[in-house]
Amino acid sequence: MIILSVESSCDETAVALVRDGREVLTDQVFSQADLHAVYGGVVPEIASRSHIEVIYQLADRALAVTGLSRADIDAVAVTYAPGLIGALLVGVNFAKSLAFGLGVPLIPVHHIRGHIAANYLAFPELEPPFLCLAISGGNTLIADVRDYTDIRVLGSTRDDAAGECFDKTARVLGLPYPGGKPLDDLSQSGDDTKYHMPLSHVEGNPLDMSFSGLKTAVINLVHGAEQRGEELDRASLAASFTKAVSDSLVPRTMEALRELGYDKLAVAGGVAANSRIRRDFTQAASKAGARLYIPPLKLCGDNAAMIGAQGYYEYMAGHTAGAELNAFATLEV
Ligand code: KG4
Protein backbone atom coordinates (compact mmCIF):
# COMPACT_ATOMS: atom_id res chain seq x y z
CA MET A 1 0.00 0.00 0.00
CA ILE A 2 1.48 3.37 -1.03
CA ILE A 3 0.54 6.35 1.14
CA LEU A 4 1.18 9.94 0.15
CA SER A 5 1.71 11.77 3.43
CA VAL A 6 1.66 15.45 4.29
CA GLU A 7 3.18 17.39 7.21
CA SER A 8 2.69 21.13 7.80
CA SER A 9 2.23 21.53 11.56
CA CYS A 10 4.97 24.09 12.15
CA ASP A 11 7.81 25.39 9.98
CA GLU A 12 8.55 22.40 7.76
CA THR A 13 6.42 21.61 4.72
CA ALA A 14 6.83 17.97 3.77
CA VAL A 15 5.34 15.40 1.41
CA ALA A 16 6.43 11.75 1.37
CA LEU A 17 5.55 8.49 -0.33
CA VAL A 18 5.76 5.50 2.02
CA ARG A 19 5.10 1.83 1.21
CA ASP A 20 3.39 -0.36 3.85
CA GLY A 21 4.37 1.94 6.70
CA ARG A 22 8.02 0.95 6.63
CA GLU A 23 9.66 1.84 3.32
CA VAL A 24 10.32 5.47 2.42
CA LEU A 25 10.10 5.94 -1.35
CA THR A 26 10.77 9.68 -1.03
CA ASP A 27 10.59 12.30 1.71
CA GLN A 28 10.49 15.86 0.37
CA VAL A 29 11.08 18.39 3.17
CA PHE A 30 11.17 22.16 2.78
CA SER A 31 12.40 23.96 5.91
CA GLN A 32 11.17 27.50 6.47
CA ALA A 33 13.86 28.13 9.13
CA ASP A 34 15.50 30.90 7.06
CA LEU A 35 12.18 32.75 6.76
CA HIS A 36 11.70 32.82 10.55
CA ALA A 37 15.34 33.23 11.65
CA VAL A 38 15.21 37.02 11.37
CA TYR A 39 12.36 37.07 13.95
CA GLY A 40 14.08 34.62 16.31
CA GLY A 41 11.11 32.22 16.24
CA VAL A 42 8.28 30.93 14.08
CA VAL A 43 5.82 33.59 12.84
CA PRO A 44 2.54 31.65 12.35
CA GLU A 45 1.19 33.75 9.46
CA ILE A 46 4.46 33.51 7.52
CA ALA A 47 4.48 29.75 8.16
CA SER A 48 0.95 29.29 6.73
CA ARG A 49 1.71 31.31 3.62
CA SER A 50 4.94 29.48 2.95
CA HIS A 51 3.20 26.09 3.29
CA ILE A 52 0.68 27.15 0.62
CA GLU A 53 3.47 28.24 -1.72
CA VAL A 54 5.41 24.98 -1.69
CA ILE A 55 3.06 22.12 -0.83
CA TYR A 56 1.89 21.45 -4.41
CA GLN A 57 5.44 21.55 -5.75
CA LEU A 58 6.61 19.09 -3.11
CA ALA A 59 3.82 16.65 -4.01
CA ASP A 60 4.65 16.93 -7.73
CA ARG A 61 8.34 16.41 -6.99
CA ALA A 62 7.62 13.38 -4.77
CA LEU A 63 5.84 11.71 -7.70
CA ALA A 64 8.47 12.82 -10.23
CA VAL A 65 11.49 11.50 -8.31
CA THR A 66 9.85 8.12 -7.66
CA GLY A 67 8.46 7.77 -11.17
CA LEU A 68 5.02 7.11 -9.68
CA SER A 69 1.76 8.59 -10.88
CA ARG A 70 -1.31 9.75 -8.98
CA ALA A 71 -2.98 6.44 -9.80
CA ASP A 72 -0.35 4.67 -7.67
CA ILE A 73 -1.45 6.50 -4.49
CA ASP A 74 -3.62 4.20 -2.34
CA ALA A 75 -4.33 6.67 0.48
CA VAL A 76 -3.45 10.15 1.73
CA ALA A 77 -2.27 10.70 5.33
CA VAL A 78 -1.96 14.09 6.98
CA THR A 79 -0.92 15.64 10.29
CA TYR A 80 -4.11 17.17 11.70
CA ALA A 81 -2.91 17.98 15.25
CA PRO A 82 -1.21 19.42 17.26
CA GLY A 83 0.54 22.48 15.86
CA LEU A 84 -0.02 25.98 14.52
CA ILE A 85 -3.64 26.00 13.46
CA GLY A 86 -3.19 27.98 10.23
CA ALA A 87 -0.22 25.85 9.23
CA LEU A 88 -2.07 22.60 9.95
CA LEU A 89 -5.09 23.74 7.93
CA VAL A 90 -2.96 24.11 4.80
CA GLY A 91 -1.88 20.47 4.96
CA VAL A 92 -5.31 19.19 5.98
CA ASN A 93 -7.10 20.99 3.13
CA PHE A 94 -4.49 19.92 0.61
CA ALA A 95 -4.76 16.29 1.76
CA LYS A 96 -8.57 16.37 1.77
CA SER A 97 -8.70 17.71 -1.78
CA LEU A 98 -6.17 15.19 -3.01
CA ALA A 99 -7.90 12.23 -1.35
CA PHE A 100 -11.29 13.38 -2.64
CA GLY A 101 -9.95 13.95 -6.15
CA LEU A 102 -8.25 10.56 -6.29
CA GLY A 103 -11.11 8.74 -4.56
CA VAL A 104 -8.78 7.23 -1.93
CA PRO A 105 -9.02 7.10 1.90
CA LEU A 106 -7.95 10.10 3.99
CA ILE A 107 -6.01 9.24 7.17
CA PRO A 108 -5.61 11.79 9.99
CA VAL A 109 -2.36 11.41 11.95
CA HIS A 110 -1.38 12.93 15.30
CA HIS A 111 2.00 14.65 14.94
CA ILE A 112 3.54 13.01 18.03
CA ARG A 113 2.37 9.57 16.91
CA GLY A 114 4.24 10.38 13.72
CA HIS A 115 7.44 11.21 15.61
CA ILE A 116 7.17 7.89 17.46
CA ALA A 117 6.64 6.08 14.12
CA ALA A 118 9.88 7.55 12.70
CA ASN A 119 11.43 4.64 14.60
CA TYR A 120 9.53 2.10 12.45
CA LEU A 121 11.26 3.55 9.38
CA ALA A 122 14.70 3.42 10.94
CA PHE A 123 14.32 0.02 12.62
CA PRO A 124 12.36 -2.56 10.57
CA GLU A 125 12.40 -5.03 13.48
CA LEU A 126 10.80 -2.63 15.99
CA GLU A 127 7.27 -3.55 17.01
CA PRO A 128 5.15 -2.46 20.00
CA PRO A 129 5.06 -2.72 22.93
CA PHE A 130 7.87 -0.32 23.84
CA LEU A 131 8.41 2.89 25.77
CA CYS A 132 8.98 6.12 23.84
CA LEU A 133 10.22 9.52 24.96
CA ALA A 134 9.02 12.11 22.45
CA ILE A 135 10.99 15.35 22.68
CA SER A 136 10.25 18.01 20.10
CA GLY A 137 9.86 21.75 19.73
CA GLY A 138 6.27 21.73 20.91
CA ASN A 139 5.89 18.57 23.00
CA THR A 140 7.73 16.52 25.60
CA LEU A 141 6.17 13.29 26.82
CA ILE A 142 6.86 9.73 27.92
CA ALA A 143 4.51 7.27 26.22
CA ASP A 144 3.67 3.61 26.64
CA VAL A 145 3.30 2.41 23.04
CA ARG A 146 1.16 -0.65 23.81
CA ASP A 147 0.28 -1.12 20.16
CA TYR A 148 0.67 0.91 16.96
CA THR A 149 -2.45 2.95 17.70
CA ASP A 150 -2.84 2.27 21.43
CA ILE A 151 -0.60 4.85 23.08
CA ARG A 152 -0.84 5.94 26.72
CA VAL A 153 0.94 9.06 28.01
CA LEU A 154 2.68 8.33 31.32
CA GLY A 155 4.22 11.74 31.93
CA SER A 156 4.71 15.04 30.14
CA THR A 157 6.00 18.56 30.57
CA ARG A 158 3.83 20.84 32.67
CA ASP A 159 5.04 23.95 30.84
CA ASP A 160 7.65 24.38 28.07
CA ALA A 161 8.68 21.61 25.72
CA ALA A 162 12.35 20.60 25.82
CA GLY A 163 12.91 21.97 22.29
CA GLU A 164 11.34 25.30 23.19
CA CYS A 165 13.72 25.49 26.15
CA PHE A 166 16.69 24.78 23.84
CA ASP A 167 15.53 27.47 21.41
CA LYS A 168 15.00 30.15 24.10
CA THR A 169 18.32 29.37 25.78
CA ALA A 170 20.09 29.50 22.43
CA ARG A 171 18.48 32.87 21.77
CA VAL A 172 19.85 34.45 24.97
CA LEU A 173 23.24 33.00 24.08
CA GLY A 174 23.04 34.89 20.77
CA LEU A 175 22.71 31.75 18.62
CA PRO A 176 20.59 31.64 15.45
CA TYR A 177 17.09 30.13 15.27
CA PRO A 178 16.36 27.23 15.57
CA GLY A 179 18.90 27.09 18.34
CA GLY A 180 19.01 23.40 19.30
CA LYS A 181 21.72 22.37 16.85
CA PRO A 182 23.97 25.47 17.27
CA LEU A 183 23.69 25.08 21.06
CA ASP A 184 24.61 21.41 20.73
CA ASP A 185 27.68 22.40 18.68
CA LEU A 186 28.69 25.14 21.12
CA SER A 187 28.39 22.83 24.13
CA GLN A 188 30.96 20.38 22.72
CA SER A 189 33.92 22.38 24.04
CA GLY A 190 32.24 23.33 27.35
CA ASP A 191 32.52 22.08 30.93
CA ASP A 192 29.10 20.81 32.00
CA THR A 193 29.90 21.25 35.73
CA LYS A 194 30.80 24.94 35.52
CA TYR A 195 27.32 26.44 35.98
CA HIS A 196 24.80 25.24 38.53
CA MET A 197 21.39 24.66 36.94
CA PRO A 198 18.16 24.01 38.86
CA LEU A 199 16.63 20.55 38.52
CA SER A 200 12.85 20.70 38.48
CA HIS A 201 10.71 18.79 40.93
CA VAL A 202 7.08 18.50 39.98
CA GLU A 203 4.40 17.72 42.56
CA GLY A 204 2.17 14.75 41.80
CA ASN A 205 3.13 12.50 38.91
CA PRO A 206 6.88 11.76 39.28
CA LEU A 207 7.12 11.24 35.49
CA ASP A 208 5.93 14.79 34.74
CA MET A 209 8.60 17.35 33.89
CA SER A 210 9.07 21.13 33.89
CA PHE A 211 11.49 23.21 31.83
CA SER A 212 10.37 26.81 32.38
CA GLY A 213 12.42 27.21 35.60
CA LEU A 214 15.55 26.08 33.80
CA LYS A 215 14.87 28.52 30.97
CA THR A 216 14.38 31.38 33.45
CA ALA A 217 17.56 30.42 35.33
CA VAL A 218 19.63 30.68 32.13
CA ILE A 219 18.01 34.00 31.15
CA ASN A 220 18.72 35.43 34.63
CA LEU A 221 22.30 34.19 34.56
CA VAL A 222 22.98 35.76 31.16
CA HIS A 223 21.26 39.07 32.00
CA GLY A 224 22.99 39.24 35.41
CA ALA A 225 26.40 38.73 33.80
CA GLU A 226 25.62 41.36 31.16
CA GLN A 227 24.63 43.90 33.82
CA ARG A 228 27.80 43.25 35.80
CA GLY A 229 29.86 43.40 32.61
CA GLU A 230 31.13 39.86 33.20
CA GLU A 231 32.25 37.57 30.39
CA LEU A 232 30.33 34.28 30.38
CA ASP A 233 31.84 30.97 29.31
CA ARG A 234 29.10 30.36 26.72
CA ALA A 235 30.28 26.87 25.80
CA SER A 236 30.19 25.76 29.45
CA LEU A 237 26.81 27.38 29.95
CA ALA A 238 25.48 25.48 26.90
CA ALA A 239 27.01 22.24 28.24
CA SER A 240 25.65 22.79 31.79
CA PHE A 241 22.20 23.59 30.39
CA THR A 242 22.16 20.50 28.16
CA LYS A 243 23.22 18.32 31.10
CA ALA A 244 20.30 19.72 33.13
CA VAL A 245 17.81 18.89 30.34
CA SER A 246 19.24 15.41 29.99
CA ASP A 247 19.17 14.91 33.79
CA SER A 248 15.46 15.74 33.68
CA LEU A 249 14.67 13.38 30.80
CA VAL A 250 16.84 10.31 31.29
CA PRO A 251 16.07 9.24 34.91
CA ARG A 252 12.30 9.68 34.43
CA THR A 253 12.31 7.71 31.20
CA MET A 254 14.39 4.91 32.72
CA GLU A 255 12.07 4.80 35.73
CA ALA A 256 9.06 4.42 33.41
CA LEU A 257 10.86 1.63 31.54
CA ARG A 258 11.52 -0.17 34.83
CA GLU A 259 7.90 0.21 35.95
CA LEU A 260 6.57 -1.23 32.68
CA GLY A 261 9.14 -4.01 32.60
CA TYR A 262 9.85 -3.37 28.90
CA ASP A 263 13.25 -3.97 27.36
CA LYS A 264 12.72 -1.68 24.35
CA LEU A 265 13.17 2.07 24.60
CA ALA A 266 12.69 4.55 21.75
CA VAL A 267 13.43 8.27 21.63
CA ALA A 268 11.87 10.53 19.02
CA GLY A 269 11.47 14.18 17.96
CA GLY A 270 13.81 17.04 17.03
CA VAL A 271 15.59 17.12 20.40
CA ALA A 272 16.46 13.42 19.99
CA ALA A 273 19.13 14.79 17.60
CA ASN A 274 21.03 16.19 20.61
CA SER A 275 24.41 14.52 20.96
CA ARG A 276 24.52 14.65 24.78
CA ILE A 277 20.99 13.27 25.16
CA ARG A 278 21.76 10.47 22.67
CA ARG A 279 24.93 9.60 24.58
CA ASP A 280 23.24 9.63 27.99
CA PHE A 281 20.42 7.38 26.75
CA THR A 282 22.92 5.02 25.14
CA GLN A 283 24.68 4.60 28.49
CA ALA A 284 21.47 4.35 30.53
CA ALA A 285 19.91 1.79 28.19
CA SER A 286 23.04 -0.34 28.16
CA LYS A 287 23.17 -0.27 31.99
CA ALA A 288 19.51 -1.30 32.14
CA GLY A 289 20.01 -4.07 29.56
CA ALA A 290 17.46 -2.42 27.24
CA ARG A 291 17.60 -2.08 23.47
CA LEU A 292 17.67 1.60 22.46
CA TYR A 293 16.10 2.99 19.27
CA ILE A 294 16.84 6.56 18.20
CA PRO A 295 16.20 7.50 14.56
CA PRO A 296 18.96 9.02 12.43
CA LEU A 297 19.05 12.83 12.55
CA LYS A 298 16.97 13.42 9.42
CA LEU A 299 14.08 11.38 10.86
CA CYS A 300 14.23 13.16 14.25
CA GLY A 301 13.06 16.54 12.93
CA ASP A 302 9.69 17.13 11.28
CA ASN A 303 9.19 15.16 8.07
CA ALA A 304 6.32 13.53 6.20
CA ALA A 305 7.73 10.00 6.03
CA MET A 306 6.95 9.51 9.71
CA ILE A 307 3.34 10.59 9.04
CA GLY A 308 3.13 8.00 6.25
CA ALA A 309 4.50 5.34 8.62
CA GLN A 310 1.95 6.03 11.35
CA GLY A 311 -0.73 6.64 8.72
CA TYR A 312 -0.37 3.04 7.54
CA TYR A 313 -1.07 1.67 11.04
CA GLU A 314 -3.94 4.12 11.60
CA TYR A 315 -5.46 2.90 8.32
CA MET A 316 -5.02 -0.73 9.37
CA ALA A 317 -6.89 0.11 12.59
CA GLY A 318 -9.73 1.63 10.55
CA HIS A 319 -8.96 5.24 11.49
CA THR A 320 -9.93 7.20 8.40
CA ALA A 321 -11.77 10.50 7.98
CA GLY A 322 -14.05 12.23 5.52
CA ALA A 323 -14.35 15.76 4.19
CA GLU A 324 -15.39 16.93 7.68
CA LEU A 325 -11.81 16.46 8.97
CA ASN A 326 -10.64 19.51 10.90
CA ALA A 327 -7.26 20.55 12.33
CA PHE A 328 -6.60 21.03 16.05
CA ALA A 329 -3.91 23.18 17.69
CA THR A 330 -3.86 20.88 20.71
CA LEU A 331 -4.97 17.27 21.04
CA GLU A 332 -4.19 14.33 23.33
CA VAL A 333 -1.90 11.72 21.77
O1 KG4 B 1 10.52 17.63 16.03
P2 KG4 B 1 10.83 19.01 15.57
O3 KG4 B 1 11.49 19.18 14.24
O4 KG4 B 1 9.56 19.91 15.58
C5 KG4 B 1 8.44 19.69 16.36
O6 KG4 B 1 7.70 18.71 16.11
O7 KG4 B 1 8.26 20.51 17.30
O8 KG4 B 1 11.76 19.63 16.72
C9 KG4 B 1 12.33 20.87 16.58
C10 KG4 B 1 13.13 21.16 17.85
C11 KG4 B 1 13.62 22.59 17.89
O12 KG4 B 1 13.31 23.13 19.15
C13 KG4 B 1 15.12 22.42 17.69
O14 KG4 B 1 15.89 23.45 18.29
C15 KG4 B 1 15.36 21.09 18.37
O16 KG4 B 1 14.26 20.30 17.93
N17 KG4 B 1 16.64 20.48 17.98
C18 KG4 B 1 17.63 20.20 18.86
C19 KG4 B 1 18.71 19.68 18.11
N20 KG4 B 1 18.34 19.64 16.79
C21 KG4 B 1 17.05 20.12 16.74
N22 KG4 B 1 17.70 20.38 20.19
C23 KG4 B 1 18.82 20.01 20.80
N24 KG4 B 1 19.91 19.52 20.15
C25 KG4 B 1 19.90 19.33 18.81
N26 KG4 B 1 20.97 18.83 18.18
Nearest CA to ligand 1 atom 24: 274
Q: Are 61 and 92 in contact (CB under 8 A)?
A: no
- Could you tell me which CATH class the domain 129-299 is placed in? alpha beta
Identity of residue 164: E
Residues β-bridged to residue 107: 77
Residues 261-309: tens digit of each pLDDT: 999 999 999 999 999 999 999 999 999 999 999 999 999 999 999 999 9
Average pLDDT, the chain: 97
Sheet bearing 23-31, strands edge to edge: 23-31, 12-19, 2-7, 75-81, 106-110
Ligand 1: centre distance to CA 160 (Å): 13
With b meaning 16 or more CB within 10 Å and e meaning fewer, what string describes 113-151? bbbbbbbbbbbeebebebbbbbbbbbbbbbbbbeebbeb
Q: Is 179 touching ligand 1 by the criterion CB < 6 Å?
A: yes
Mutate to test the pocket of ligand 1, among 133, 242, 271 (most ligand atoms within 8 A of CB): 271
CATH code, 2-116+301-316: 3.30.420.40
Question: How far, in whole angstroms, is CA 186 from its chain's centroid?
Answer: 22
Give the pTM. 0.96
Q: Are 209 and 250 in contact (CB under 8 A)?
A: no
Question: How far, in whole angstroms, is CA 236 from its chain's centroid?
Answer: 26
Residues 211-241: tens digit of each pLDDT: 999 999 999 999 999 999 999 999 999 999 9
Per-residue pLDDT at 322: 96
Residue 31, pLDDT above cutoff 90: yes
Per-residue pLDDT at 83: 97
- Distance in angstroms (rounded) separating the CA atoms of residues 105 and 74: 7
Mutate to test the pocket of ligand 1, among 29, 132, 133, 136 (most ligand atoms within 8 A of CB): 136
Residues 62-117: tens digit of each pLDDT: 999 999 999 999 999 999 999 999 999 999 999 999 999 999 999 999 999 999 99
Indicate the pLDDT class of residue 201, thresholds 50, 70 and 90.
Answer: confident
Q: Is 137 touching ligand 1 by the criterion CB < 6 Å?
A: yes
User: What value does the mean pLDDT take over residues 197-205?
Assistant: 91
Percentage, residues of the chain above pLDDT 70:
100
Where exactly does CATH 3.30.420.40 map onto the chain? Answer: 2-116+301-316, 129-299
State residue 11 phi and psi, 5-degree precision.
-115, 20
Nearest CA to ligand 1 atom 16: 270
User: What value does the mean pLDDT take over residues 163-178?
Assistant: 94
Q: 201: left (phi > 0), else alpha (psi -120 to 50), else beta?
A: beta
Residue 200, pLDDT above cutoff 90: no
Start-to-end CA distance of the chain, whole Å, equals 25
